Amino acid sequence: MNYIWGFMILVSVITAIFTGRVDETVNAVFEGAQSSVSTLISFAGVMCFWCGLMKIAERSGISQFICRIISPVVNRLFPGSSEAARQHISMNITANLLGMGNAATPMGMLAAEELDRENPNPEIPSVNMCMLVVLNTTAFQFVPSTIIALRAAAGSISPVSIIIPIWFASAVAVTAGILSVKTMGRFICAT
């Protein structure tokens, strides 16, 4: 990948030299760097806010309440998994529902470790492991905080106006993912 990026940079510099746009290229590099740093700082602030809300949700019992609500769905989607795995899966899904993909990652990793311990054939991922990856990747979000933060950092007039389209797209993606794992998982995953 480094070679590809290096090649693209080299081609850009050579093109700038031959077209007489070296000044414009240098200015674009510095403007891009400045823009990325300011976007990162804005994004970090919003992420800190949402991570704080996630901690409040955990300590107040809201996360556990959501886990109890979604436990029948988790039990159905992950048959035969252990209680520890289902707990981590529920927390992962809860964090994703609240739009905290970064907070969901550790729980997803713990869930994957538990599911791997239960896997009868460690060479091939189990259907439950495939389901975890699909659910974590498609992740339905009630509050898509990452996208909202990026839109706010980019100066959007209404950064939350994308919530309904994201709900629709997420619902379609989750449904397609679940159906794919349920139909094809038996053929390509360990049982």
- The Cβ of residue 162 has, within 10 Å, a number of other Cβ atoms equal to 15
- Using CA atoms, how far residue 21 sits from 6, 10, 28, 33, 35, in Å, is 19, 14, 11, 18, 21
> 16-62 pLDDT, tens per residue?
888 888 888 888 888 888 888 877 777 677 667 766 776 787 788 87
Q: What is the pLDDT of residue 50?
A: 67
* Res. 177 pLDDT band, cuts 50 70 90: very high
Q: Is the pLDDT of residue 176 over 90?
A: yes
Give the C-alpha separation, 110 to 106, whole Å.
6
Q: What is the pLDDT of residue 67?
A: 75
* Res. 164 pLDDT band, cuts 50 70 90: very high
Give the C-alpha separation, 169 to 95, whole Å.
18
Q: Is the pLDDT of residue 179 over 90?
A: yes
- Global pTM reads 0.67
Q: Is 9 exposed, middle or buried (0-12, 13-18, 19+ CB in 10 A)?
A: exposed
Integer-rounded Cα radius of gyration of the chain? 21
* Res. 173 pLDDT band, cuts 50 70 90: very high
The pair of structure tokens assigned to 53 is: 């809300």
Rounded mean pLDDT, 117-134: 87
Residue 189 vs residue 80, higher pLDDT: 80
- Residues 16, 19, 24: CA angle, nearest 5 degrees: 50
Q: What is the pLDDT of residue 175?
A: 94
Taking a C-beta distance cutoff of 8 angstroms, is the pair 157, 92 a contact?
A: no
Taking a C-beta distance cutoff of 8 angstroms, is the pair 104, 140 a contact?
A: no
Contacts of residue 136, defined as CB under 8 A and 6 or more positions apart, other chains included, come to 92, 96, 104, 108
> What share of the chain has pLDDT > 90, as a percent?
12
Rounded mean pLDDT, 9-16: 86
Q: What is the pLDDT of residue 172?
A: 94
Rounded mean pLDDT, 151-157: 83
> 58-115 pLDDT, tens per residue?
788 877 787 788 889 998 999 888 888 888 898 888 888 877 766 777 888 888 998 9
